[in-house]
């Protein structure tokens, strides 16, 4: 099943989007994050992807109460929350699980402390978040390059019990310019872990293209969509339908 993960990016308690990961190029949306999440849930999604941009950049989980409120609002509908941003130790992961999050995404710490991924994944649903530019991984809210290739990073998580890997192509994120199909196909080829694509979706056709993307017998497990939904380029109902058509 090709799953839609509508995104809610949080900064200072507000819904925002960054352009190509640049914190100085932010678009703020006036909607209440909890109300946005409730609208997504009412449209029939199974997951909502929430990012604490402040925590991703500084490690300070200033948006955790908002994440907890989102999880509480959608729990009665059966919708699950996948959360990322600033998860750099056991305690921060545990705090998100306690807040009602179903799956925690580990980014910077997954690169710098891969054993933390294995330890957490042994008992809880964990995803690895790899933010990439031209095939290389960046960390700390996309602000620092590592010089490490995506394929090499994916290989080391293969047998750790990770539930999914979220691959975000930073150069496309927030641009609405279309997804980097080559980057996502390369990720599918590099790992047997389910891959969730993120970055660049600007039209319903992009969702269908990603849903049809194959690397051998492998296909994407899902797609994260943010700016296109918040800018009203298509509705959440249309996006749910487009993903459902992909099977």
Which residue numbers are catalytic?
9, 131
How far, in Å, CA of 201 to CA of 177, rounded?
A: 7
Phi and psi, residue 105, nearest 5°: -100, 125
Rounded CA-CA distance 51/87 in Å is: 11
Distance, CA of 247 to CA of 240 (rounded, Å): 11
Other Cβ atoms closer than 10 A to 1: 9
On the 0-12 / 13-18 / 19+ scale of CB atoms within 10 A, 76 is exposed
Q: Could you give the maximum distance between any two Cα atoms of the chain, in Å? A: 43
* Strand residues in 153-213 grouped as ranges (E): 164-169, 195-198
Three-state secondary-structure class, residue 46: coil
Do the beta carbons of residue 103 and residue 82 sit within 8 Å? yes
Could you give the CA distance from residue 201 to residue 223 in angstroms, rounded to a whole number? 9
Residue identified by tokens 């090499």 is: 152
């Amino acid at each position: 099943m090709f799953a839609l993960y509508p995104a809610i990016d949080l900064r200072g308690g507000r819904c925002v989007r960054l352009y190509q990961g640049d914190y100085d190029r932010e678009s703020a949306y006036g909607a209440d994050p909890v109300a946005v999440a409730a609208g997504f849930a009412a449209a029939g999604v199974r997951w909502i992807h929430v990012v604490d941009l402040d925590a991703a950049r500084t490690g300070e989980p200033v948006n955790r109460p908002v994440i907890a409120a989102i999880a509480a609002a959608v729990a009665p509908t059966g919708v699950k929350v996948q959360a990322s941003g600033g998860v750099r130790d056991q305690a921060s992961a545990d705090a998100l699980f306690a807040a009602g999050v179903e799956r925690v995404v580990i980014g910077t710490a997954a690169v710098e402390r891969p054993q933390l991924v294995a330890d957490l994944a042994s008992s809880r649903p964990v995803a690895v978040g790899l933010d990439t530019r031209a095939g290389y991984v960046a960390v700390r809210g996309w602000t620092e390059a590592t010089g490490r290739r995506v394929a090499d990073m994916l290989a080391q998580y293969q047998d750790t019990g990770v539930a999914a890997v979220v691959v975000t192509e930073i150069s496309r994120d927030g641009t609405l310019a279309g997804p980097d199909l080559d980057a996502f196909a390369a990720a599918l080829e590099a790992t047997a872990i389910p891959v969730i694509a993120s970055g660049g979706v600007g039209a319903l056709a992009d969702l269908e293209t990603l849903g049809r993307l194959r690397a051998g017998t492998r296909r994407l497990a899902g797609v994260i969509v943010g700016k296109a939904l918040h800018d009203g380029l298509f509705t959440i109902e249309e996006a749910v339908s487009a993903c459902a058509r992909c099977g």
